[in-house]
Structure 1
Amino acid sequence: MKRLNLALLTIVAVAIPAVAQRTAPTAVPVDPKVAALRDKAMGDDTAFKIVEGLTTEVGPRLDGTEAEERARTWAVAKLKALGFRNVHVEPYQLDTVWLRGEGSAEVIAPYPQTLRLAALGNSGATPAAGLTLPVAYFHTLSDLMAVPDGSLGGRIAFVSNQMAPTQDGSSYGSQGAARFVGPAIAAKKGAAAIVIRSIGTDHGRGPHAGVTNFPAGVAPIPAAALSVADAENLERMLLLGKPVTLHLTLTPTVVGPRTSGNVVAEVPGSDPKAGIVLIGGHLDSWDLGTGAIDDGTGIAITTAAAKLVMDAPGRQRRTIRVVWFGDEETGGFGGVAYAKAHAGERHATASESDFGADRVWRMNLNLPESAVAVGDRLAAALAPIGVVRGQEKAGDGTDVEPTLATGVAAIDLNQSGLRYFDWHHTPEDTLDRVDPEQLRQNVAAWTAMLAIVADAPEDIGSVAPRGGRP
C-alpha cells in the first residue's frame, strides 16, 4: 500500500508544479532500486538509535572538553559496529578552549527577582563578586549601534530584538547578529557588560547558548543570553519608566591548547577517480542540553543513509565519506581541519545535515553542467516524500563550507525550521524533541540522494562556489 501511494505521488509531483518551485519538475523516471532504498528508509530506525545512544551514553559535548573526547571514542566504536570501513579520528589542535563556569543575574531594583541566563561562548568574566550596574535598554541591535562610542560606561547594555519562526531559518541570520556581533559592539560603546534576548522563537525560561566573537583589539566583556521569558519580563520593567539595576555574575575561563578531532568513516566505492561524496554533521554540542537536534540528528541522519546504501546489493561507484566533525559550535575548526587534511583529494559533492530533524522540504543544488541530469533524477526521487526543488544555489553548512570553497559541488537538503529555534542551544535540546517519523523522512531523503549521486555515471566536476569563483 505504501509503495502504491508513493507511485501515485510521483505521478502527481510530475504533473503539477509545486508552489515553491514556480516551474514544473522535469519528468524523469525513478530508478526502482533508488525508490526501494528510499522506501526502506521510511521504516528504518538506525538514526534514532544513534541519537539515543549518543545523548544517553555521552550527553553534552562542549568543544575541546573531556566529554567531546569521550564522544569521539564512542563514535569510532559505533561506526565500526555499523560496518563502516576506514574508521578513524583525525586530530587537530585548538589553541584555546572556552569553558562556561557559573552564571547568574538578579534585578536589584526596582522590582527584585532572579533572571535565567547563559554566558555566550567567548564571553569575558565579571569580577568574582559580580557587577551591579544600571541597565541601558535597546529594543534592537540597530539602536545599540546608533549610540556614540564610549557612551555606555558604567552600564549593562540590554538588547531585546525578537526572532520569529521561519521555514528556512532566515530570521536566525537577520536577528542572530545581536549575539554574533552585539557584545563586540557594546564593548566599543563602553558597556561594562551585555545581556541579550536569547536568539530563539520560544517564550520559555530556558536560555539559548551560542558563540559570540570579539575582533582583535576589542577586549571581551561579560556577555550572556537571557531566556526569552526573562528578557520579555526585563523589557516590561524598563518600559515602566523607572531605572533598573541588574546584578550580573559570569565566571567563564579560557584554557588550552587542547587536542580535538574529526571522526571519519567510509563506504568505499568502485571508482577512485570519480570523486568522494562527503556527508556528515558535527559531533560537538553546547552544554546546556544533550545535543540531540544540534547536531546528534545530523550525524545520525547522514550515517543511517550511508549505511542503507552500504548494505544494499552491489557497490556504488563513488566512495561515500561520513564525517562527524568536531568543534563546529565555537568556530568551525573541524571543517577547516578536514579541508586542509584532504586538500589533495577529489571530492565530487559535499553536504551536511545541521538543522534538526524536522521534515526535509526543499533541495537546492550547485552542480556543474555535466551533472544536470543528476539533479533531475534527484528531484524525481525526492518528490514523493514531499521535497521540492528550490531555485537557490546550494552551499550551506559551516563544516563543509571550507571544502565547498575549493569548487566542490553542493547539495543541500533543507529541513523545516519552524520548530528548530524553540530548542536550539537550550537545555531543551534533548532526545524527546526528535520526532521519529520526521527523522525517518530525513533519512529517506538522504538515502535517495546518496544512492543517485554516489552511483551517477556523469562526471561531477568543479563549480563556482555560491557567491564566488573556484
Structure 2
Amino acid sequence: MRIHTAFALALLLTTGAQAADTESSATRIPDSAITQVTGLRERALKDDVAYAITEGLTSEIGARLAGSDNDLKARDWMIAKFKALGFDKVWSEEVSYPRWIRRSESAAVIEPFAQPLMVAALGNSAGTPKGGLETEVVRFESLAAMQAAPDYLVNRKIVYIANPGMQALKDGHDYGMAAQVRVSGPASAAAKGAIGFLMRSAGSDQNRIAHTGVTHFEDQAKAIPAAALSSPDADLLDHIFARGKPVKIHLDIDCGMDGSYTGANVIAEITGSSRPAEYFLTGGHLDSWDAGTGAIDDAAGVAITTAAAHLIGQLPQRPARSIRVVAFANEESGLFGGKAYAAQHHTEIGKAVLGAESDLGADRIYKLTATVKPEARAAIAQIAAAVKSLGVDYDAAAPGAGGSDLSAVHAVGMAGLSLHQDATRYFDWHHTANDTLDKVDLEQMRQNVAVYAIAMYLAASAEGDFGSAAGAFAKEADSD
C-alpha cells in the first residue's frame, strides 16, 4: 500500500512539474504590448499610406508582368518607396525564372455560326502557327471527363472544357477547382494529342472580359496554345454546341517563352529594439498580369503590409523583433519569389518567428487562422482578441500557411498566420483588365492595415516563439 501511495505521490509531483514546465515554456504576449495596440489601431484606421502606394504603383508603373520592362521599373520604384518611408534596411535578392511574353490573341467560331470570341492567352501558353489554327473543337463538361476520354476524340483538335462558372463567395473556395482546370488542363489535353485548349475563365463575373493566369507544362517543348474564354463567350459556345453540329474555331495567339530573366525580391526592414535578428515576415507580390494595372493583385497586398510596418516604425517604443516586408518577384507564374526566399533563408528559418502575406485584394479581413506550435496557441488567441473589435473572428481549428508566397517559406519551417480577406468581389476582377485602382475601397484597406499592424506588433513583441524551425511544419505543409 505504501508503494502505491509513493508512486501516486511521485506521479502527482511529476505531472505538476510537467504542467509548470509547459506553462513556463508557453509563448505569451506581455501586457505592455497589448496596451500599445489601441493607439496603433486608431492611427491605422486613418492612415492613407497603403492607398498612396497602391495608387503610385498603378499610376506610375501600371501592369508588372514578370520579366517585362515594368518589372524592373517596379523594383526601382519599390526600393525608392521603402527608403522614402524610412525603413532601416532596404535590399534586394535575385530571383531567376523563364520569361513568357504575350503579344496578341484572338478567336472566333467559324462553323456552324460565325461569332467572335473574347479570349486571353494563359501564361506559359505556346503560340499558334502564323495565321492561327482553324480546326474542330471537342467539348467536355469537366477536366476529369476530358482526361477519361479516348485519345482519338481529342487528337488534332482544340479541347474546350466548359467547367461551371465560379460563384462569388466570401472564402473564394470555387477558385481551387477552376484554377486546377487552368493549371493542368492544357498539358493533359496536349498529352492526348490536342493542338489547342480553351476553357471558361476562372472568375466569378459575367463581364465579357477573359481572365488570364498561369498554366503548367512539364516540358515546354510540348506546350500547346491555351486560352480562357470570358464567361459570356463560354455560354455562347455552349449554346452553339447545343445545336448538335460540329464546331470549328479559329484561334490565333502570338505569345511564348523568351529565354530566362533575373528579377529580384525587394526587401525592407524595421529593426527590432532588443532581438533584431529575429523578425515577423510579411509582404505581397510585386508582379502582376499584364491586362490591368495590378491594383488588387497585388499592389494592394504590398501596400497594406508596407503601411502596417511603417506605422510600427513610427512608434516611440518598437517591438523586440524586426518587421521584414518582402515585395516578392514573379508569384503569378509559379511562386518564384517565395521559393527563392525559402531556398536562400531555409537554414535560418527559425529567425522568421511568424509570417503573414496579403494577396487577396483589399477588402475586409474577417478571419484569422494559424499554424504554430501548441505552446504558442495562447499567444495567437491574444492576437485574435486584439483584432476582434475590427470584425475578425478566430478559427483555432483551421491551419494558416501565411499566404501565397509564404506557403513556400512555411513549407521549410516558418510558423504561419493567415489573415483571410473577404473574396466576394475579388474573383470578378482577378487576372483581368478590370484589376484597376477603382476596385480598392479605402475604408476596407485601412481595416487591413490595422489588422496587420496589430498582428505584426504583438507577434514581434511575444515572449517565446511560435515554433519556426527547419522542417517544423512539414506534415501540415504537405497537406496544404
**TM-score for the superposition, normalised by structure 1:** 0.91
- Kindly state the Cα deviation for residue 154 of structure 1 after the two structures are TM-superposed: 2.6
- Kindly state the Cα deviation for residue 141 of structure 1 after the two structures are TM-superposed: 1.5
- Kindly state the Cα deviation for residue 271 of structure 1 after the two structures are TM-superposed: 3.0
Given candidates 110, 113, 121, the residue that maps to 2:112 is: 110
- Equivalent AA in structure 2 for residue 142 of structure 1: A
Aligned residue pairs: how many?
Answer: 442
- In structure 2, the residue matched to 1:9 is none
Instruction: List 4+ stretches of structure 1 deviating above 4 A.
Output: none
Given candidates 408, 411, 416, the residue that maps to 1:410 is: 416
- Kindly state the Cα deviation for residue 461 of structure 1 after the two structures are TM-superposed: 2.8
- Kindly state the Cα deviation for residue 190 of structure 1 after the two structures are TM-superposed: 1.6
Matched, 1:425 2:431: yes
Q: How do 1:34-113 residues align onto structure 2 when only pairs under 5 Å count?
A: 34-94=37-97, 96-113=98-115
Matched, 1:395 2:401: yes
Does structure 2 conserve the Cα–Cα contact (< 8 Å) formed by 1:187 and 1:218? no
- Kindly state the Cα deviation for residue 171 of structure 1 after the two structures are TM-superposed: 0.9
- Kindly state the Cα deviation for residue 163 of structure 1 after the two structures are TM-superposed: 1.6
After alignment, is 310-319 or 363-372 more displaced? Answer: 363-372
Structure-2 separation of matches of 1:31 and 1:124 = 54
- In structure 2, the residue matched to 1:381 is 386
Q: Describe the SS at the equivalent of 1:102.
A: strand
Query: 5+ unaligned residues in a row in structure 1: which ranges?
Result: 1-27
Structure-2 separation of matches of 1:396 and 1:76 = 24
Q: Describe the SS at the equivalent of 1:412.
A: strand
- Equivalent AA in structure 1 for residue 385 of structure 2: A
Does structure 1 conserve the Cα–Cα contact (< 8 Å) formed by 2:363 and 2:422? yes
Q: Which digits, 9 at most, give the CA deviation of each residue in 1:238-261, with x for residues without a partner?
A: 112222211000111211222100
Residues 273 and 290 (structure 1 numbering): CA distance in 2 closer, same or farther, change over 3 Å? closer
Matched, 1:455 2:461: yes
Structure-1 separation of matches of 2:301 and 2:333 = 17
Structure-2 separation of matches of 1:74 and 1:366 = 34
Q: How do 1:122-141 residues align onto structure 2 when only pairs under 5 Å count?
A: 122-141=124-143
After alignment, is 292-301 or 403-412 more displaced? Answer: 403-412
- Equivalent AA in structure 2 for residue 265 of structure 1: A
Does structure 1 conserve the Cα–Cα contact (< 8 Å) formed by 2:211 and 2:228? yes
- Kindly state the Cα deviation for residue 33 of structure 1 after the two structures are TM-superposed: 1.3
Structure-2 separation of matches of 1:206 and 1:259 = 31
Q: Which digits, 9 at most, give the CA deviation of each residue in 1:360-416, with x for residues without a partner?
A: 010001122332231121111111111000121111423112221122111100001
- Equivalent AA in structure 2 for residue 367 of structure 1: V
- Kindly state the Cα deviation for residue 359 of structure 1 after the two structures are TM-superposed: 0.7
Structure-1 separation of matches of 2:79 and 2:343 = 21
- Kindly state the Cα deviation for residue 214 of structure 1 after the two structures are TM-superposed: 1.2
Aligned residues with identical type, % of pairs: 44
Matched, 1:369 2:385: no
Going by fraction, where is helix more abundant, 1 or 2?
A: 2
- In structure 1, the residue matched to 2:27 is none
Q: Describe the SS at the equivalent of 2:56.
A: helix
Matched, 1:223 2:226: yes
- In structure 1, the residue matched to 2:451 is 445
Does structure 2 conserve the Cα–Cα contact (< 8 Å) formed by 1:147 and 1:189? no
- Kindly state the Cα deviation for residue 468 of structure 1 after the two structures are TM-superposed: 5.0
- Kindly state the Cα deviation for residue 318 of structure 1 after the two structures are TM-superposed: 0.5
Structure-1 separation of matches of 2:110 and 2:271 = 62
- In structure 2, the residue matched to 1:253 is 256
Q: Describe the SS at the equivalent of 1:305.
A: helix
Q: Describe the SS at the equivalent of 1:209.
A: coil
- Kindly state the Cα deviation for residue 175 of structure 1 after the two structures are TM-superposed: 2.4
- In structure 2, the residue matched to 1:336 is 339
- In structure 2, the residue matched to 1:270 is 273
- Kindly state the Cα deviation for residue 82 of structure 1 after the two structures are TM-superposed: 0.7
Does structure 1 conserve the Cα–Cα contact (< 8 Å) formed by 2:276 and 2:320? no
- Kindly state the Cα deviation for residue 48 of structure 1 after the two structures are TM-superposed: 0.5
Structure-2 separation of matches of 1:396 and 1:176 = 20
- Equivalent AA in structure 2 for residue 467 of structure 1: E
Q: Describe the SS at the equivalent of 2:341.
A: helix
- In structure 2, the residue matched to 1:3 is none
Matched, 1:282 2:285: yes
Residues 469 and 427 (structure 1 numbering): CA distance in 2 closer, same or farther, change over 3 Å? closer
- Kindly state the Cα deviation for residue 54 of structure 1 after the two structures are TM-superposed: 0.2
Q: Describe the SS at the equivalent of 2:251.
A: strand
Does structure 1 conserve the Cα–Cα contact (< 8 Å) formed by 2:412 and 2:474? yes
Does structure 1 conserve the Cα–Cα contact (< 8 Å) formed by 2:296 and 2:435? yes
- Kindly state the Cα deviation for residue 438 of structure 1 after the two structures are TM-superposed: 0.8
- In structure 2, the residue matched to 1:157 is 159
Does structure 1 conserve the Cα–Cα contact (< 8 Å) formed by 2:95 and 2:329? no
After alignment, is 421-430 or 212-221 more displaced? Answer: 212-221
- Kindly state the Cα deviation for residue 109 of structure 1 after the two structures are TM-superposed: 1.7
Residues 388 and 97 (structure 1 numbering): CA distance in 2 closer, same or farther, change over 3 Å? same
Matched, 1:32 2:41: no
- Kindly state the Cα deviation for residue 91 of structure 1 after the two structures are TM-superposed: 1.7
Does structure 1 conserve the Cα–Cα contact (< 8 Å) formed by 2:138 and 2:153? no
Does structure 1 conserve the Cα–Cα contact (< 8 Å) formed by 2:112 and 2:246? yes
After alignment, is 187-196 or 418-427 more displaced? Answer: 187-196
Q: CA RMSD in A?
A: 1.8
- Kindly state the Cα deviation for residue 465 of structure 1 after the two structures are TM-superposed: 4.3
Structure-2 separation of matches of 1:203 and 1:137 = 21
Q: Describe the SS at the equivalent of 1:211.
A: coil
Structure-2 separation of matches of 1:99 and 1:216 = 18
- Equivalent AA in structure 2 for residue 115 of structure 1: L
- In structure 2, the residue matched to 1:464 is 473
Q: Which digits, 9 at most, give the CA deviation of each residue in 1:71-126, with x for residues without a partner?
A: 000000111111112112212322x2010121100111222121111110111111
Query: 5+ unaligned residues in a row in structure 2: which ranges?
Result: 1-29
Structure-1 separation of matches of 2:155 and 2:380 = 56
Q: Describe the SS at the equivalent of 2:296.
A: helix
Does structure 2 conserve the Cα–Cα contact (< 8 Å) formed by 1:120 and 1:209? yes
Does structure 2 conserve the Cα–Cα contact (< 8 Å) formed by 1:164 and 1:171? yes
Q: How do 1:18-29 residues align onto structure 2 when only pairs under 5 Å count?
A: none
Residues 215 and 279 (structure 1 numbering): CA distance in 2 closer, same or farther, change over 3 Å? same
- Equivalent AA in structure 1 for residue 394 of structure 2: R
Structure-1 separation of matches of 2:368 and 2:36 = 21
Q: Describe the SS at the equivalent of 1:363.
A: strand
Structure-2 separation of matches of 1:257 and 1:171 = 33
Structure-2 separation of matches of 1:377 and 1:186 = 50
Structure-1 separation of matches of 2:409 and 2:371 = 13
Given candidates 165, 169, 176, the residue that maps to 1:173 is: 176
